């Protein structure tokens, strides 16, 4: 029983450490809206840099409105309809 509680405490500590460091790295948060082939999508993403957050939000928005690899790549290349920074240091 003691072994089980000790193992549970260690696993909980590792999960807590992962969540804490992940949240601490996300200094930037952005919402990106994209129009592509008559469809629109807005998505929010966070990242450790402006570029990473913007790229993640763009990729997420395009994932919902583009079909296939070719369309996804084309969607990610067009300028977003709007970019709203929700958090910047």
Q: Nearest CA to 55 among 23, 36, 32, 71?
A: 32
Q: Does the pLDDT of residue 22 top 70, yes or no?
A: no
Residue 21 pLDDT: 66
Flag whether pLDDT at 19 surpasses 90.
no
User: Model confidence over 7-17: pLDDT tens digits?
Assistant: 888 888 888 87
The span from the CA of 47 to the CA of 27, in Å, is 6
Predicted TM-score (pTM) of this structure: 0.73
24 pLDDT band (50/70/90 cuts)?
A: low
54's CB contacts (< 8 A; 6+ apart) are 30, 32, 45, 47, 83
């Amino acid at each position: 029983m003691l072994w089980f509680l000790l193992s549970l405490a260690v696993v909980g500590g590792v999960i807590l450490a992962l969540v804490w460091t992940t949240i601490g790295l996300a200094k930037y948060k952005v919402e990106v809206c994209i129009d592509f082939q008559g469809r629109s999508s807005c998505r929010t993403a966070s990242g450790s840099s402006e570029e990473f957050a913007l790229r993640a939000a763009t990729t997420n928005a395009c994932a919902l409105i583009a079909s296939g690899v070719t369309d996804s790549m084309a969607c990610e290349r067009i300028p977003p309809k709007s970019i709203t920074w929700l958090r910047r240091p």
